[in-house]
Amino acid sequence: MNRIDNTLNKEGKLLSIYFTAGHPNLNDTVDIILKLQESGVDMIEIGLPFSDPLADGPTIQDSSTVAIKNGMNTNVLFEQLNGIRNRVSIPLIIMGYFNPILQFGVEEFCKKCNQVGIDGLIIPDLPIDYYEENYKSIFKKYKIYNMFLIAPQTSDERIKKIDSISDGFIYMVSSSSITGSKESFSSKQLEYFERINKMNLKTPRITGFGVGNKDTFNAAVNYSKGAIIGSAFIKNLESNGLKSIERFIKNIRI
């Protein structure tokens, strides 16, 4: 069974953390992963930096710019992740845009993911129909899950389609805007969460975008299996360094 499924089957609500590979420093990637596992997170999303991250807010965009300037690219990331499974047991997911994956070669990318122990991918700009027609068989060949996103504007029909072909979890985007932590969710966002809840989807959902503190984490997991924190974690890294990771996670979990 995929590590993602094993984790989703556990009792309790899950905390997933997103960070950009190669940020703040090029060689921080593995240290951040190890410290996150030690701090008790359930899953980790490793951001593959891209020069035009359309869905991301200023914090993640800036972290991508820094990572690229530091020298991070697809080959470097796979080199850094080589042997990671000797030290890390929790699910590892790469989140990135399709262009760098296409440039690398989709099959070669999935093969490398399999070799280093990546469990799944989140590719915000890969259309579900295009994936089904061209790449689904490759992902299955290398046992890589592909998680799709839904948002407030996604139609019920589309959500049901995504639910029918999803592996792992559905990434439930909390708003129609770009990434970035918020202090709380609006009544409109909570209505959206309720609407999705009432659809009784078979696939677990993990909420992202706008989750950045204990309050928003607790609100998000009232309507889903877990939540993803990205921008707030990256800001904390920039301000306080890797030594602050354990404290940051504890403040979310309290």
Q: What percent of the chain has pLDDT over 70?
A: 94
Instruction: Name the least confident of 51-55, 137-141, 155-159, 246-250.
Output: 51-55
For residues 70 and 25, the answer to whether their CB atoms sit within 8 Å is yes
- CATH of residue 236: 3.20.20.70
Q: What is the mean pLDDT of the chain?
A: 92
**Cβ count within 10 A of residue 33:** 23
For residue 37, give its domain range: 3-253
pTM above 0.85, yes or no: yes
Cis peptide before 24 (omega within 30 of 0): yes
Higher confidence at residue 218 or residue 186? 218
11 is catalytic: no
**Per-residue pLDDT at 183:** 56
**Distance from C-alpha of 129 to C-alpha of 99, rounded to nearest angstrom:** 17
**Per-residue pLDDT at 140:** 97
28 is catalytic: no
**Per-residue pLDDT at 191:** 87
- pLDDT band (50, 70, 90) for residue 235: very high
Given 42, 45, 119, 167, which residue is catalytic?
45
Q: How many structural domains are present in the chain?
A: 1
For residues 196 and 151, the answer to whether their CB atoms sit within 8 Å is no
Residue-level length of the chain? 254
**Distance from C-alpha of 86 to C-alpha of 109, rounded to nearest angstrom:** 21
Given 56, 107, 133, 167, which residue is catalytic?
56
Q: Convert 40-65 to b/e letters by CB count within 10 Å (16 or more is b).
A: ebbbbbbbbbbeebebbbebbbbbbe
Q: Using the predicted structure, report yes or no on whether residue 29 has a pLDDT greater than 60.
A: yes
